[in-house]
A and B are shown apart, each in its own frame.
Chain A
Amino acid sequence: MKRYSVFAIAREAMRQHTGWDRAWAKATPKKKYDAIIVGAGGHGLATAYYLGKNHGIRNVAILEKGWLGGGNTGRNTTIIRSNYLQDPSAAIYEKARSLYETLSQDLNYNVMFSPRGVMMLAQTQHEIRGYQRTAHANSLQGVTTEFIGPHKVKELCPIINIDGPRYPVLGALWQSRGGTARHDAVAWGYARACSDMGMDIIQQCEVTGVRQANGKVVGVDTTQGSIDCDKLGIVVAGHTGVLADMAGFRLPVESLCLQALVSEPIKPCMDVVVMANTVHGYMSQSDKGEMVIGGGTDGFNNYTQRGSFHHIEETVRALVETFPMISRLKMLRQWGGIVDMTGDRSPIISKTPLGNCFVNCGWGTGGFKAIPGSGWAMADLMAKGEPGPLAAEFSMWRFREGKFIDESVAAGVAH
Chain B
Amino acid sequence: MLILECPYCGVHADETELAPGGEAHLKRFGPGSDIDDFEGYLFMRENPKGLHFERWRHAYGCGKWFLAARCTATLEVFGTYPAQSAEPPQSIKDAITAKRPGWSWRDFA
Contacts and interface: CB of A to CB of B under 8 A. Distances in A.
> Do chains A and B interact in one complex?
yes
Interface of A: 239, 241-242, 245, 250-255, 299-304, 308-310, 340, 343, 399-400
A338 to B, nearest CB: 9
Contacts of B70: 300
A301 B52 contact: yes
A309 B1 contact: yes
B72 A302 contact: yes
Nearest to B74: A304
A237 to B, nearest CB: 12
B42 to A, nearest CB: 7
B1 A241 contact: no
A13 to B, nearest CB: 48
A350 B39 CA distance: 17
Interface string B37-75: 011101111111100101000000000000000101111
17 contacts: A245-B48, A250-B44, A250-B45, A250-B46, A253-B45, A255-B72, A299-B19, A299-B20, A300-B70, A303-B72, A304-B75, A309-B1, A310-B15, A340-B47, A400-B35, A400-B36, A400-B43
Contact of B49 (A239, A250, A299, A399): A239
A409 to B, nearest CB: 16
A308 B2 CA distance: 8
Interface of B: 1-2, 15-16, 19-20, 22-23, 35-36, 38-40, 42-49, 52, 54, 70, 72-75
B35 A300 contact: no
Contacts of B23: 254, 301
A94 to B, nearest CB: 27
A211 B101 CA distance: 26
B47 A241 contact: yes
Contacts of A245: 48
B75 A302 contact: yes
B20 A300 contact: yes
A302 B74 CA distance: 9
A301 B54 contact: yes
A399 B72 contact: no
Given A239-B49, A254-B22, A301-B52, A308 B15 contact: yes
